[in-house]
Chain A
Amino acid sequence: QQKVQQSPESLTVSEGAMASLNCTFSDGTSNNFRWYRQHSAKGLEVLVSIFSDGEKEEGRFTAHLNRANLHVSLHIREPQPSDSAVYLCAVSMGLLSGSFNKLTFGAGTRLAVCP
């Protein structure tokens, strides 16, 4: 069964400094990865989706995927206080998922951005 772990559990950065979040997964056949942001008492907002090794940029958010190392990361450039939220990594277990995107989520990293 897929296991997804995120680190660190919490992270505090200063406004404008780079924030880096990590996610490791256990199923090497996974090929569908997403980063979500969850503001308090709100739903999930997808930030970046990545399906192959390398880098994918969406505005200030960049995901790096290295499937050989079972690792995907999220880097937030010039974070703002409004980026303070919980960030969730979600991984799909590959072709065994069938016809829909069956996601396994990590527990999240709580990011605080200080002015």
Chain B
Amino acid sequence: EAAVTQSPRSKVAVTGGKVTLSCHQTNNHDYMYWYRQDTGHGLRLIHYSYVADSTEKGDIPDGYKASRPSQENFSLILELASLSQTAVYFCASSERGFYAEQFFGPGTRLTVL
């Protein structure tokens, strides 16, 4: 059974609209992450969280907010979606620790028109 799930799996949004991507993990992990992947590029870290009710900025946080209401759930929020935010978004979770493995969800394909 998948330990990191994402919803929706795909979404079409309009420019200027609000988009919320959701992630749920059953790994009992402290850390959760949001990445985006653009065609021909690797994954880039947007936000991460190491405890409920707290989030941290990653490498490309502009235009995104994150919310961690519980250990299991982590959301990515685009308040005003833009064309440049069309991408595939991945959520991941890991235990605390430098060598801890990250476990990824299946991804959400977001298209902003």
- Please report A residues at the B interface, Cβ cutoff 8 Å: 4, 32, 41-44, 46, 49, 51, 88, 90, 92, 95, 97, 99-108
Task: Assess A108 versus B107: contact at CB under 8 Å? Given A32-B98, A43-B4.
Answer: no
Give the interface size bracket for B toward A: 20 to 34
Q: Are A49 and B101 in contact (CB under 8 A)?
A: yes
- Please report B residues at the A interface, Cβ cutoff 8 Å: 4, 31, 40-45, 48, 50, 90, 92, 94, 96-102, 104-107, 109
Task: Assess A99 versus B98: contact at CB under 8 Å? Given A41-B107, A42-B106, A88-B43.
Answer: yes
| B21 shortest CB reach to chain A, Å | 14
Q: Are B98 and A105 in contact (CB under 8 A)?
A: no
Cβ-closest chain A residue relative to B101: A46
Q: Are A105 and B43 in contact (CB under 8 A)?
A: yes
